[in-house]
Structure 1
Amino acid sequence: METGEYSGVWLDLWYITKHDRIKLGLEKSHVNDAFVIAGGTTQSRSKLYMATQTRRNNRRNNRSIQTNRVGFKPSIRRQRYELQPNDLVKYKKILCKVKGGFSYGKWVRLVTKAGKIINTNVKKVELVKYGKGIQF
């Protein structure tokens, strides 16, 4: 439906998109809805990439304003342990993701691709890739 006062602007109604998506046999997702709205039918489609972003720092740098109810500023962690959440590590020839650390950074909790949780000493794992920033 073309709007009269704005040339080139296209107004799309959800039920039309849903009807066309079902007719093409596509599941509901943002990518598939965009494909249907653009008038796609049999065109070849590019591969979908999944990206996740993990913050590098937990707190902002400016501490002059933020205080709690008592008037104290929140404490800033001064020491970071060598393994952080979302780091990719190798444990017994298995690639795992770090879920978190405990016991003052001496032990680490890992998650395998199958979803199994493993608690192990940091000396038994080898860092493959840091998990901060944007990962594809």
Structure 2
Amino acid sequence: GVAVPLDLTLPPGEKEAALPVRLTPGEALEAARALLSPEGVEVALEGEALGQRLTFFRARLALPLEPVRVRRSGVNFFLENPNPIPLRAEGLLVLLGQRLTVRADLPARGEGRLWVKGLRPGLEGGRPRLELWLEVPGFLRQALVLEL
């Protein structure tokens, strides 16, 4: 977790204050990754009043990524991104015994066509599936397998 020390004293009669948070780039990245994970991150506002340590607020916040959905139209596959952030998808399409390298750029709350980048040699058994790495470039990478 990330602990942010605050030194704030409200003037008499004031009931609200904005609390600016200053984090190093590493701490900000860690906090953002935790927010996007299913487990989330614990947020607490602790302080001192009348000489006693108090916890004013404690909650677990999570904004996990929703899984993308796959749609087939003729010979084309489309990925639908329900998330409010754009994603890059790269991986393998296993279809009719072949392994195809694929990629797609997915806009926020939009869809993108799955592009075949190349053929990986060898026959693949099992059910048709899409094995993807979803990525917010330079920030987060998450594995996903979709049965077709």
TM-score of the pair, normalised by structure 2: 0.25
Q: Which has the larger Rg?
A: 1
**Larger RCO, structure (CA 8 Å, separation 6 or more):** 1
Between Structure 1 and Structure 2, the one with more strand by share is 2
The structure in which a higher percent of residues are helix is 1
